[in-house]
Structure 1
Amino acid sequence: MAISQEALDIMHSPGIYFWDEKLMSTAQQEQRDMLHDINALKASDPRRERLLRTFFAEMGEDVWIEPTFNANWGLSTHWGSHTYANFNLTLVDDGEIFIGDHTMIGPNVTLVTTGHPVRPDLRERVAQFSEPIHIGRNVWIGANVTVLPGVTIGDNSVIGACSLVTRDIPADSVAFGTPCRVARPINEHDDEYYWRDRLIPKDI
């Protein structure tokens, strides 16, 4: 891997930093080429998992990411075990992304760790900032959700489809909307009903 620890430290530290061609561009191109190779393989090809484990910073047991997906880097994303991501996942992972065990991610989800200053002259100089995203254990993120920099989603929470998550969501919550807000805690109703008025069968 061509990227230096210095470059990673810059991207993973709080505050504004500037894109450094010498430190970052060659390494990012290597990651893009690897991503292309991953997406070109059949889902059943055993080489795919081997490449994924090289591509990401960390990947636990029994991880499945549906093809195709996109990532700025890959090497800033940490996957727990028994995790699943549906089609068209996008990881803007200049900053770090941590995904807990047993978490499920729906189709067309975007996790964005990086933004740019509003001040125009700084953007002309390719200024940016990156804040980590933390997704807890056993979280379900619905289709077409976008999670913005610095957000933490607590264990067991559910994020409804098409939400824009701009602030932290506590554990054991059902949250949705633009911006995403907590609608209610996970409660006794959820012990009996899996969706609306549909009862969970007694024998499962």
Structure 2
Amino acid sequence: MKTEKEKMIAGELYFAEDPVLVAERKHSREQMHLINHELDGDIRSQLLKETFGHVAGKIYMEPTVAFDYGYNISVGKNFYANFNCTLLDICPITIGDACMIGPNVQLLTATHPLEPVKRNSGLESGKPITLGNNVWLGGGVVIIPGVTLGDNVVVAAGSVVTKSFGDNVVLGGNPAKVIKRIETEKTEEPLTIQRKKIDTLDRKIAQLLEERMDAVAEIGAIKKQTNTNVLDSKREEKVLDNVRQAVNNPAYRETIQHSFEDIMKHSRAYQAQIKGAE
């Protein structure tokens, strides 16, 4: 069973009044008090490094800084934020290198159920926010849960960003839309472009594989309870047949099938760990 903290970070419904989370929020408020009352910028930056989950290099944030937990915030090199920055880090907030944030900016990963009974029950959830490198958010910008912005994105003051955008765009409005595209001085090499595409796809595949392993773990627990064999040849052949039918390009079919065979091999091994040696 996942803890409420694990559910929260994974973006699942969780109970916010869980004692562990209540204690961690209390600690984060103590850290916020120290950070926001520290007049020495260098000391304030050191406190931020000790509080956030990851800081790659130089960080400077004007007071006041507000966050839920702090440990879900990851910041790249040379980060600057102006006054009154709010980072609601129910889920991970990942900020790239050389990013700048104007005053009164809000990055909000937290959300609530739309159905009022469920919302009033105390259940909450969230979605991660990711900013690429060289992102500049103007004053009063709001980023809502689940948004990803690519590299070199500029968001005009007062905008509300409700969906994700790629690299090299200027955004503005509520909801924010592309105002113009930024012409970069240097065109990336074709190999670099394709590798970046693969990096993006790999992150998505890793997230899907993690969801698949959640299901694998549940199946392993059921098999242990019912004393069912880990290996189900008919089921695995059905999975491979589904995979073959899902692949549109025949040239890729064999390679993708072999990849899934390997995935199932490791899934069996994980289920065997759950069920015990057979």
TM-score (norm 2): 0.63
Q: Secondary structure at the residue paired with 2:170? A: strand
1:185 and 2:181 are equivalent in the alignment: yes
Alignment of structure 1 residues 52-67 onto 2, 5 Å? 52-67=48-63
1:9 and 2:1 are equivalent in the alignment: no
Which structure dedicates a bigger proportion of its chain to helix?
A: 2
* Structure 2 unaligned spans of 5+: 187-278
Q: Deviations over 1:18-60 (max 9, x none)?
A: 224322101110111111111111133x432332112100112
- 1:95 is matched with 91
- Measure, in 2, the Cα distance between the counterparts of 1:8 and 1:78: 18
- Measure, in 1, the Cα distance between the counterparts of 2:85 and 2:170: 22
Alignment of structure 1 residues 46-57 onto 2, 5 Å? 46-57=42-53
1:80 and 2:72 are equivalent in the alignment: no
Pick aligned residue for 2:110 from 111, 114, 120: 114
TM-score (norm 1): 0.85
With CA pairs under 8 Å and 6+ residues apart, which has the higher RCO, 1 or 2?
Answer: 1
* Equivalenced residues, count: 185
- 2:157 is matched with 161
- Measure, in 2, the Cα distance between the counterparts of 1:43 and 1:105: 20
- 1:21 is matched with 18
Distance 1:6 1:43, change over 3 A: farther
Cα contact 2:84–2:105 (8 A) shared by 1: yes
- Measure, in 1, the Cα distance between the counterparts of 2:51 and 2:171: 31
- Measure, in 1, the Cα distance between the counterparts of 2:98 and 2:4: 31
1:173 and 2:169 are equivalent in the alignment: yes
Cα contact 1:147–1:165 (8 A) shared by 2: yes
- Measure, in 2, the Cα distance between the counterparts of 1:23 and 1:155: 36
Pick aligned residue for 2:31 from 31, 34, 38: 34
Q: Secondary structure at the residue paired with 1:33? A: helix
* Structure 1 unaligned spans of 5+: 192-204
Q: Deviations over 1:82-106 (max 9, x none)?
A: 1111110001111110000001111
Cα contact 1:43–1:66 (8 A) shared by 2: no
Cα contact 2:144–2:161 (8 A) shared by 1: yes
Matched residue type, 2:11? P
- 1:142 is matched with 138
What is the RMSD of the two structures over their aligned residues, measured on CA atoms?
1.8
Rg larger for: 2
